[in-house]
Structure 1
Amino acid sequence: MPSSIFNSIIHRHKPGIQLSVDLWLALALAYGGGLWLHWIHELEGAMEHDAPPVLLHWLRDATLLLPLMLGAVIAARLIARRLYLTGARRSIAIAFVASALMGGASPLHQILFDAHHHAALGASVLVHSARDTLLALIANLVIVSAVALIRQPRRWARQRVILRAVLAITLITNFLAPLAPTVSAAPAAQTANVCATATRTITYDVAAFQTIIPHNGWGDHTPDGLMFALSNADAIPNKDALIANPNLIEPLVIRAAVGDCILVNFRNDITGRRVGMHVNGISKDPKTSDGARIGNNPDTTVPTGGTITHTFFAHREGQFVINDYGSGLNYPNDTTSRGLYGALIVLPRGATWHDPRTGRDLLDASKRGVGAMPFADARVPGVGNDFRDFVAVFMDEPEGVLDRDGKPPVFPLTGIEDGTFGINYRSEPLRNRARAVLEHRGLVYDAAQNKIVATAPKVVTLPNGTVIQPTDHFCDGYVPELDQIVSDPGAQCVGEEFHLQSWPFGDPGKLTRKLADGTIVADTDSIIPKAYVGDPVRFRIVHPGVYETHTWHQHTNRWRHEPNDPDSTRLDVQSTGPGQTFELDFEGGAGQMMGTVGDQVFHCHLYPHFAEGFCRCARTILLSRVH
């Protein structure tokens, strides 16, 4: 025995060969053990701000571990020689040293990359390191044993090595069980406490999914948009209907009445991303229904294909932002800039809410939501309490918007890349209408010459489906009612504000799509809120973020700063920042005290914002007119 030990000590491989062997073992430990530890952290809901995609995330962390693992292998071999450890014992020593370095690196990883390992929150650095060391040891024992068997299958007794590895794993697992967190499904909603005083329970089935989001009929769109929508087949619209016809897309707006207990069955259909459904400012238990992974609270976001039931209590009237609190705020890792947001509206006690076009109750007989549209009719107990309920959800400069040619939009007079703002996913920027005028006139910006040059006039198709030939009248001053050309600047589309009018460009409440046979049809959807003169209107603005403050300005209509205080300041502008919401009760109803009819513009008063699409209109209709 002493002779064999002595021979094993003095019989060493050549330094170059040994280093090569050590490097291969270090690679296996860094990428194999690193994958195991990364997977465990993901299951526990670990979060890193601005994290790369999963594969790159693992490769980055494993590559950073490689020098440590090479050092661990070399150090463990030196220790093994001093302690006369050979064979399986030496492999186990390597696994222990490598695991200790992995565990010690975990707190450092948190500091370097602003990561949060939820199972370790609140634990000391020592406890965190010890826990991850034991977790890593499970994989590393298997890895070193496998490498040893591959290198020297005859010299090593396979059964003996496997037996020792299994025995070690079993002992470690038993020791680790009380320390390791339980990886389980997200907690079920607990209704008893939050909804103890609820008068009834209503339910919504909601899915988060990826789809194209069109912003206008000119071709601007977000190709990889994210959004919430009702998932039940009888909902109008529902997820499948929106994917089939993206022109009907609108942000999710769910409603409840004061005293309602709201159950939201939430499913994540977004590939490769954990997301949550966080409702800001509503009564809920943050341990079960926060739709977030924050601090020491349980992770209530869900992975791809996962589901969770959230419970909210409608304790007061108001409008509340819905966001995904499972992602950061920076593009491209955030979800808000790609459209994953919405709103919860709480109406007066006893109210019902209905489709403004059909009158359909948007809760079915079982009190399950079958509609979640921005515009609804609210019917409130008592005489004269009903109102039009309009919600404008801000689209705050989303990233990744492309134009009709699949390129970042540019301003046609300068060639400079143009931003995009909007309301309820819709945007009507100056650039598209200006380009239509230029193309019809045979003008185009030449980047090489940095000026507008002449070219062949083009056919222009408006968002409402109207096709204008180069020989047709368009923005040249022609007035059909007079059958002549006039010098009116508006009719000639002169000046930067011509894009705010609809006469030359068609009804802004229509979007077009091409059928399989090539026919272009216009869809009527709820892009524009409509009311009859004098209808009571509650106009709610909701800013889900994440960038700009907007000065919301409403033409024609005014409201009191405090809806329930008739003596509060009368306004027609309201400054609104990310996360804020406001209720604007129109004084005198739709059309204001003067009874003004027609399309009434609302927009951000910061010129670059509304020139880049932050403007729409409300339509006030005469009672005698059929619409």
Structure 2
Amino acid sequence: MRRFLSLVMASGLAVTPMVWAAEQHDHHSSVDQASAKKVVHRAGGSILHDRMMEEVKRQQDFMGTKGGYSTGADSHMLQQGVLLVAEDSAKVTVAGGQRCPANVPVKEYHVSAINIEITLSRFLDYFPGYMYVLRDDLDKARAEEAANKAARDTENDPGAVSNGLQGDVIQPLVIRANQGDCLKLTLHNDLADEATNLVINGSSMVVAATGKPATPSNSETTVAAGKQQSFEWYIKPDTQEGARFFRSHASREQFNQGLIGMLVVEPNGSRYLSPFDGKSMASGWEAM
């Protein structure tokens, strides 16, 4: 009798977990089925794919108008991917950044974005491109452009292109500011019928009028043709020294064809002197 009762109790203990597990399975199944009914499936993948293909076609059509370099530029463009920005700018929000304190040194630059023929070497190979240039150097840039153009029709004339771009205005813009400075930069868009911008990588630059970050996703960063926008960046005293790359994010063509440059953060109190005459210089890669 005792053996019989032991077997019954053991059987009950074995069966109970199985029954409980089955009940739990049924419960979870019903919950999963109910949850599945609430899932909303959207064709997000196909929408993004269509937008990507439309953008690729737009860029290919644009590059096809650029002449002899269009094949190489088109191949490069396809390797870089496509930036899918929000169709509705109201959906993109940015928070406020830090403004410059009133009692810090100021480094101020007025920069123009221009269309210009960029001569690549003393063999006078060139392409129609873009460039950032200090407004004070605009006349010098146009004079170099004219000299290079005239030199193409003259034998053994290197034009205005020096060895190593020493002192040449037609080159990527390099500007400087020190740790602890307030960088004030005004971008003047002198391009022909194109909006543009200037975004400094690794910076905390803000739009001066609103204090919002000067990022590609902030529409206030982009400047329409013929307009200008002012920015500022308080470079804190403990900011890492070194070069910050800047570029146009308005279009791939502007970036690929010349709208690039460098902001160099120098130690507090630094001066930037020309290696040619020892005088202060506002821009250029060869400052000492």
Q: TM-score band (shorter)?
A: 0.5 to 0.7
Q: Percent identity?
A: 25
Q: Is it true that 1:258 corresponds to 2:179 in the alignment?
A: yes
The one-letter code matched in structure 2 to 1:265 is T
* 1:282 paired residue among 189, 203, 210: 203
Match of 1:562 in 2: none
Partner of 1:324 in structure 2?
A: 248
| Closer, same or farther: CA 264–122 of 1 in aligned 2, 3 Å | closer
Q: Distance in 2 between matches of 1:301 and 1:277?
A: 8
Whole-angstrom distance in 1 between the partners of 2:57 and 2:272:
41
Sort the Cα spacing of 1:271 and 1:281 in 2 relative to 1 into closer, same or farther, 3 A.
same
Amino acid at match of 1:220: D
In structure 2, how many angstroms separate the alpha carbons of the residues matched to 1:261 and 1:376? 20
Distance in 1 (CA, whole Å) between partners of 2:235 and 2:112 is 21
CA distance in 2, matches of 1:50, 1:311: 34
User: Equivalents in 2 of 1:230, 1:289: separation in Å?
Assistant: 24
1:271 to 153, 167, 192: 192
Deviation at 1:306, TM superposition (A): 1.1
Instruction: Map Cα deviations across residues 5-53 of structure 1 (whole Å, 9 max, x no partner).
Output: xxxxxxxxxxxxxxxxxxxxxxxxxxxxxxxxxxxxxxxxxxx945849
* Contact preservation (8 Å) 2:99, 2:211: no
Q: Distance in 2 between matches of 1:118 and 1:305?
A: 24
Asked whether 1:203 is paired with 2:203, we answer no
Alignment partner, residue 228 of structure 1: 132
Contact 2:100 2:233 in 1 (8 A): yes
- Partners in 2 of 1:346 and 1:302 — Cα distance? 25
Given the superposition, is the C-alpha separation of residues 231 and 255 from structure 1 closer, same or farther in structure 2, using an over 3 Å criterion? same
Q: Give the 3-state SS of the residue equivalent to 2:284 in structure 1.
A: coil
- Give the whole-Å Cα distance in 2 for the aligned partners of 1:214 and 1:311: 32
Contact 1:289 1:311 in 2 (8 A): no
CA 1:300–1:358 in 2, change beyond 3 Å: closer, same or farther?
A: same
Distance 1:217 1:375, change over 3 A: same
Whether 1:304 and 2:225 are equivalent positions in the alignment is yes
Give the deviation of 1:361 after TM superposition. 1.6
> 1:387 corresponds to which residue?
none
What is the aligned-residue RMSD (CA, Å)? 2.9
Which AA in structure 1 matches 2:100?
A: C
| Separation in structure 2 between the aligned mates of residue 275 and residue 51 of structure 1, nearest angstrom | 21
**SS of match in other structure, 2:278:** coil
The answer to whether the Cα contact below 8 Å between 2:112 and 2:135 also exists between their aligned partners in 1 is: yes
CA distance in 1, matches of 2:57, 2:86: 11
Report deviation, 1:260: 0.5
> Is the 2:204–2:213 Cα contact (8 Å) retained in structure 1?
no
Deviation at 1:199, TM superposition (A): 2.4
**Map of 1:361 onto structure 2:** 280
Pairing of 1:120-159 with structure 2 (within 5 A): 120-121=90-91
Q: Please give the per-residue CA displacement for 1:569-613, whole angstroms capped at 9, x wherever unaligned.
A: xxxxxxxxxxxxxxxxxxxxxxxxxxxxxxxxxxxxxxxxxxxxx
Hey, what's the Cα distance between the residues in 1 that align with 2:182 and 2:107? 6
**Does the C-alpha gap of structure 1 residues 323 and 278 become closer, same or farther in structure 2, counting only changes over 3 Å?**
same
2:247 and 2:225 map into 1 onto residues whose CA distance is: 17
Distance 1:289 1:360 in 2: 36
Alpha-carbon separation, structure 2, partners of 1:208 and 1:280? 18
* SS at 2:268 equivalent: coil
Instruction: State TM-score, norm by structure 2.
Output: 0.57
Q: Tell me the distance in 2 between the aligned counterparts of 1:220 and 1:263.
A: 36
| Structure with more contact order per residue of length (Cα contacts < 8 Å, sep ≥ 6) | 2
Q: Letter of the aligned partner of 1:285 in structure 2?
A: V
Q: 1:51 to 1:344 in 2, by over 3 A?
A: farther
The answer on whether the counterparts of 1:198 and 1:313 sit within 8 Å (CA) in structure 2 is no
Counterparts of 2:211 and 2:55, CA distance in 1: 23
Q: Which amino acid aligns with 2:86?
A: H
C-alpha displacement at 1:284, in angstroms?
2.3
The answer to whether 1:244 aligns with 2:143 is yes
Q: How does 1:442-457 map to 2 (within 5 A)?
A: none
- Give the CA deviation at 1:264: 0.5
Matching of residues 318-397 of structure 1 within 5 Å:
318-327=242-251, 329=252, 334-362=253-281, 371-377=282-288
Counting matched residue pairs gives 184
- In structure 1, the partner of 2:31 is none
SS at match of 1:218: coil
Deviations 1:156-197 (A, max 9, x none): xxxxxxxxxxxxxxxxxxxxxxxxxxxxxxxxxx99x33238
In 2: Cα distance, 1:307 partner to 1:343 partner = 20
CA distance in 2, matches of 1:299, 1:51: 27
Q: How far is the alpha carbon of 1:221 from its aligned partner?
A: 1.2
Is the Cα contact below 8 Å between 1:198 and 1:260 reproduced in 2?
Answer: no
CA contact (8 A) 1:254 1:373 kept: yes
Q: SS in structure 2 opposite 1:354?
A: coil
* CA deviation vs aligned residue, 1:543-573 (integer Å, no higher than 9, x gap): xxxxxxxxxxxxxxxxxxxxxxxxxxxxxxx
3-state SS, counterpart of residue 212 of structure 1: strand
Identify if the C-alpha distance between structure 1 residues 307 and 212 changes in structure 2 by more than 3 Å, giving closer, same or farther.
same
Quote the residue 2:50 is aligned against: none
Mapped to 2, the partners of 1:266 and 1:372 lie a distance apart of 15
Q: Normalised by the size of structure 1, how large is the TM-score?
A: 0.27
**C-alpha distance 120-257 of structure 1, shift in aligned 2 (>3 A):** closer
1:219 counterpart = 2:118: no
Secondary structure of the 2:221 match is coil
